Amino acid sequence: MDWNIGNSTIFILSSLLVVCAIWRLLRGGKRVATSKYLSWLLITSGMTIIQVILVDAKVVNTFPIFYIFFIPWQFLAPVFFSLFICSYLDRMWEFKKYKELLLTPFVLFFILYIVLKVNAFTGYTFFSKEISLTIGAEWDENLAVLFAFINGIWNYRTIKSYERSLLGASYKTVIEKTNWLRIMYTLLVVLCSIWILVILYLKVTKFERGMMAYYPLWFLFLGFYFVFLYIGDRHLKTKKEEEKKRQVAFESIVTDFQIEGLNKIFESKELQNVIDADTYDVTRVLSYFATSLFDKRTVDDVLWDIVRNAIGKLDLEDCVIYMLDTERNVLVQKAAYGNKDKGTRKVVSPIEIPFGEGIVGAVAKTCKWECISDVNQDARYVIDDMQRQSELAVPIHDQGTILGVLDSEHSEKEFFKKQHIFIFQLIAKLTATKIKQLVKKEVTTITNDNGYYKELCFLLENEKIYKNPDISLGSIAARLDISVTYLSQLINRISGVNFSDFINEYRVKESQRLLTHPNYTGYAILSIGLESGFNSKSTFYAAFKKHTGVTPSVYRVKAPFES
């Protein structure tokens, strides 16, 4: 082996960089994706230098087994740099669009590395050692630097595109978020340019002192990565704090919309209880239950929808609805989710509980909820499909007239908390209200002042969620915490168009704005369409002509530019 002060120091610093990055990953827990991409950028960059140092110090000559673990990290590092930038700027859709191109160099050289290893371990049966060294050193090194340089230019384009997309934001806000990235990008491109010049100098002068000429460059790159780690962490922390503040403000607005959506179901006193509780979580759950029931036309549909959502939204093990048979004065299991249901909307081995008996019967008789933290201490407990440890039963009633009981059991003692009790009471109220509407054949209508529709418009106008080309009816419904069916009917009845036309209308308005904005005069028309959320030229042109009557190119020529 041939260690010296130069390669030893570089090896130690590179190893320290990798260890720091791995430590960040391990201690991060549910760390945001942007932070993870930064860690992987540092790991791949550090491993690139470590592999070169192992060759320079002739470690692989002494221990050829190390060569097996060599992979082309140098083609992965620029990819993670792009991932970091796209994630930080909330433009992951742009990375997804070009990810195949960005990953192609790594894939090709990974295959080439395998061929070189097989060739070396078989005594160079495919091609000579000299050719292997040329491919594994010169081709590898030169193309890796060129790829990093081109990737840096692509990242600069991403940053500029992001800045142009924030035309409504203040200059200070945009610069605070992107200026440090621009500086890091510039440093990286300068380092790559110096590397290219060093390669050209060595070729011209036929420098014969091995890799020592690269030592200063590796020190510069390592310094860059340590600075990137420090500055990146600082900005990510700032961004996280800002996101938290925005989320609090957003939840406050959303809660107002959702409470407005629930005001036709609950009385003022009950809504006040919602406001005083853990508002965002409670309204989120209730909104989904309420909107999911909107299109149900039979009592059975209502009951099965309630138990299914109770399991999915409240993370329960079991949920059963008993309905009162007034003629026989017994409570009958009408809907269940968990072991009592096998996916056929039919209760497995349904049981009946006499009115007033057991925990469920007592709740029906008193019309008051009961939460049993340990059923082993309550002689009234009735075993159904299996023995459990805790139970929550809430009456379903209409102004004191008992209709049934909403019941849930859990294998843990003291599982049910105050929030479970509160939400169960409100769900029972929802169930009773919907059953009453069905009995009286009342029709629930959607009006223009619908709170959920206002929330949807808020997301489209303020967060511009339509810019995501992968947005779907299901993803928006999940964001609003309402059912897909209800959202579809909401859009159809108020806007008069289907979901696709509704979203495309926002995208067309955005593209109209960009087509007539001076900052976008140099943008290709298709680029503006993609920037507005369309995922292809055909859908962009078809939607634009449908909503405006002309093609984007004609519109750009005829429409006056904004001042």
Q: Can you give the pLDDT at residue 278?
A: 47
Domains of the chain, with CATH numbers? 5-241 (1.20.1070), 268-293+295-440 (3.30.450.40), 451-558 (1.10.10.60)
Q: Determine which of 26-35, 37-46, 441-450, 508-517 has the lowest per-residue pLDDT on average.
A: 441-450
3-state SS string for 159-207: HHHHHHHCCCCCHHHHHHHHHHHHHHHHHHHHHHHHHHHHHHHHHHHCC
Most confident range, picked from 234-238, 380-384, 436-440: 380-384
Higher pLDDT, 344 or 277: 344
Cβ-based neighbours of 135, under 8 Å, separated by 6 or more: 112, 116
Residue 143 phi/psi, 5-degree rounding, is: -70, -35
Give the DSSP H/E element, type plus range, for residue 529.
helix 525-531
Q: Please determine, for residue 208, whether its predicted confidence score (pLDDT) is greater than 60.
A: no
Residue 35 phi/psi, 5-degree rounding, is: -65, -35
pLDDT digits (tens, 9 = 90+) for 486-529: 888 888 888 889 999 999 999 999 999 888 888 777 788 888 88
Q: Please determine, for residue 263, whether its predicted confidence score (pLDDT) is greater than 60.
A: no
Q: Can you give the pLDDT at residue 522?
A: 77
DSSP-based three-state secondary structure for 334: strand
DSSP-based three-state secondary structure for 335: strand
Higher pLDDT, 59 or 559: 59
Q: Please determine, for residue 300, whether its predicted confidence score (pLDDT) is greater than 70.
A: yes
**pTM beyond 0.85, yes or no:** no
Q: Provide the CA 350 distance to its chain's centre, in angstroms.
A: 41
Q: Please determine, for residue 168, whether its predicted confidence score (pLDDT) is greater than 60.
A: no
Q: Please determine, for residue 154, whether its predicted confidence score (pLDDT) is greater than 70.
A: yes
Percent of the chain whose predicted confidence (pLDDT) is above 70? 81
Higher pLDDT, 385 or 326: 326
Q: How far apart are the C-alpha atoms of 360 and 382, rounded to whole Å?
A: 9
pLDDT digits (tens, 9 = 90+) for 273-297: 444 444 445 555 666 666 666 667 7
Helices (H), 293-367: 299-314, 358-366
Q: Please determine, for residue 393, whether its predicted confidence score (pLDDT) is greater than 50.
A: yes
Q: What is the mean pLDDT of residues 473-488?
A: 84
Residue 246 — pLDDT band, cuts 50, 70, 90? low
Q: Can you give the pLDDT at residue 295?
A: 65
Contact 331, 324 (CB under 8 A): yes
Query: 395: phi > 0 → left, psi -120 to 50 → alpha, else beta; which?
Result: beta
Q: Can you give the pLDDT at residue 207?
A: 60
Q: Please determine, for residue 405, whether its predicted confidence score (pLDDT) is greater than 90.
A: yes
pLDDT digits (tens, 9 = 90+) for 419-430: 788 888 878 888
Q: Can you give the pLDDT at residue 140?
A: 78
Q: Can you give the pLDDT at residue 282?
A: 59
Higher pLDDT, 135 or 307: 307
Q: Please determine, for residue 81, whether its predicted confidence score (pLDDT) is greater than 80.
A: yes
Mean pLDDT of the chain: 80
Q: Can you give the pLDDT at residue 279?
A: 46
Q: How far apart are the C-alpha atoms of 15 and 521, rounded to whole Å?
A: 48
Q: Can you give the pLDDT at residue 277?
A: 45
Q: Can you give the pLDDT at residue 563?
A: 38
Contact 428, 406 (CB under 8 A): yes
Sheet containing 370-372: give its strands across: 352-354, 330-337, 319-325, 401-410, 390-398, 370-372
Q: How far apart are the C-alpha atoms of 169 and 439, rounded to whole Å?
A: 53
Joined tokens for residue 60: 């692989």
Contact 531, 495 (CB under 8 A): no
pLDDT digits (tens, 9 = 90+) for 358-376: 999 999 999 999 999 999 9
Q: Can you give the pLDDT at residue 167?
A: 52
